[in-house]
Amino acid sequence: MGRPPTNLSARFDVIEENCKAQPFLRLAVTARDFISVASLVSDIREEPEFQKTFNRLIGLMVRFYGAVEDAYEMGLLIGIDESTKSAPRELRELDRALENQERRTGCLGTVCRLAVAAGCLVGIRRFPNYASPWVQTFDLLLQVPILATLFKDIDLAKWEPLRGEAEKRFAALAESAGFRRIGIKHCCEDLIVEAGELWMDSLIHGLEEGKLEECARRLKRLLNFLTMPAQERWILQELRSIGSTDSMQAVLKEILRYDLRKVADSDDLDRSKLGQYFGPESGFPPNVLVLTQGWLWKHKYLVIVPELSYFTDRPSSITLEEATTDPVTFLRKHWRDASRSLKVEHCQQQLLRIEGATLDVRFRQTMEHVMANLAGEAFALAVSSSVGTSPEVSIFIAGCFGIVVDVMMSLKR
Q: Looking at the domain assignment, is residue 361 inside a domain? A: no
For residues 182 and 249, membership in a common domain is answered with yes
Would residue 39 count as lying in a domain?
yes
Please say if the pLDDT value at position 362 is more than 80.
no
177 in the same domain as 112: no
Lateral strand order in the sheet of 288-293: 180-183, 299-304, 288-293, 259-262
Range with lowest mean pLDDT among 212-221, 245-254, 277-286, 299-308:
277-286
What does residue 303 show for φ and ψ, rounded to 5 degrees?
A: -110, 130
* Alpha carbons 27 and 98: distance in angstroms, whole number: 14
- Do 299 and 403 fall within a single domain? no
Q: Closest Cα to residue 288, out of 266, 271, 311, 275?
A: 271
pLDDT computed for residue 134 by the predictor:
95
Name the domain boundary from 299, 318, 347.
Answer: 347
Q: Is residue 157 part of a domain?
A: no
Report the alpha-carbon angle 173-53-302, nearest 5: 20
Q: Are 109 and 48 in contact (CB under 8 A)?
A: no
Question: Of 17, 102, 98, which is closest to residue 64 (Cα–Cα)?
Answer: 17
- Start-end of H helices in 228-341: 248-255, 317-325, 327-334
The answer on pLDDT for 392 being more than 60 is no
| C-alpha span between 141 and 148 (Å, rounded) | 6
pLDDT at 137 over 90: yes
Number of structural domains found in the chain: 2
Clarify whether residues 109 and 201 are in a common domain: no
The per-residue b/e assignment along 137-167, b for 16 or more CB within 10 angstroms, e otherwise, is bbbbbbbbbbbbbbbeebeeeebeebeeebb
Mean pLDDT within 93-116: 85
What does the pLDDT read at residue 4? 43
Instruction: Specify whether the CB–CB gap between 139 and 192 falls below 8 A.
Output: yes
Q: Give me the chain's average pLDDT, please.
A: 84
Residue 189 has pLDDT above 50, yes or no: yes
Are 126 and 174 members of one domain? no
Q: Which among 273, 299, 60 has a CA at the least distance from the CA of 178?
A: 299
Give yes or no: residues 23 and 122 share one domain. yes
Q: What CA–CA distance (Å, rounded) separates 35 from 398? A: 12
Evaluated on CA atoms 382, 386, 392, 398, the torsion sign reads negative
- Residue type at 38 in one-letter notation: A
Q: Comparing C-alpha atoms, which of 172, 73, 171, 53 is closest to residue 116? A: 53
Residues in contact with 92: Cβ distance below 8 Å, sequence separation at least 6, in sequence order? 25, 81
pLDDT score for 6: 54
Considering only CA atoms, which of 113, 1, 112 is closest in space to residue 50? 1
Are residues 80 and 175 located together in one domain of the fold?
no
Query: 232 and 197 in one domain?
Result: yes
Residue 308 is assigned to a structural domain of this protein: yes
Q: 209 or 86, which is more confident?
A: 209
Q: How remote is the C-alpha of 378 from its chain's centroid?
A: 26
At 203-257, the pLDDT tens digits run 888 888 899 999 999 999 999 999 999 888 999 999 999 988 999 999 999 999 9
pTM (predicted TM-score): 0.85
Is residue 154 assigned to a domain? no
Say whether pLDDT at 123 is over 80. yes
High-pLDDT (> 90) share of the chain, %: 45
Highest mean pLDDT of the ranges 40-44, 123-127, 355-359: 123-127
Q: What is the pLDDT of residue 2?
A: 42
- Over residues 98-126, mean pLDDT: 88
pLDDT at 284 over 80: no
Asked, for residue 206, whether it belongs to a domain, the answer is yes
Query: Based on the domain organization, do 287 and 399 belong to the same domain?
Result: no
One DSSP character per residue, 186-208 reads HHHHHHHHHHHHHHHHHHHH---
Give domain status of residue 365, yes or no.
Answer: no
Give Cβ neighbours of residue 31 (< 8 Å, ≥ 6 apart): 64, 108, 111, 112, 115
Taking alpha carbons only, the member of 197, 178, 199, 181 closest to residue 189 is 197
Residues 113 and 175 in one domain: no
Task: State the pLDDT at residue 3.
Answer: 45
In a domain, 151, yes or no: no
The percent helix, strand, coil of the chain (3-state, each to 5) is 65, 5, 30
Q: Among the three residues 295, 317, 347, which one is the final residue of a domain in this structure?
A: 347
pLDDT at 287: 85
Q: Pick the last residue of a domain from 294, 322, 347.
A: 347
Beta strands in 140-287 (DSSP E): 180-183, 259-262
Pair type for strands 288-293 and 180-183: unpaired
- Residue ranges of alpha helices (H) inside 311-375 are 317-325, 327-334, 342-357, 361-372
Query: Has residue 1 got a pLDDT over 50?
Result: no
Do 178 and 131 have their domain in common?
Answer: no
The residue segments making up the domain with residue 323 are 166-347
Q: What pLDDT score does 334 carry? A: 93
Domain co-membership, 94 together with 177: no
Residue 350 clears pLDDT 60, i.e. is over it: yes
Tell me which residue of 323, 312, 372 sits closest to 345, measured CA to CA: 312
CB 384 within 8 A of CB 393: yes
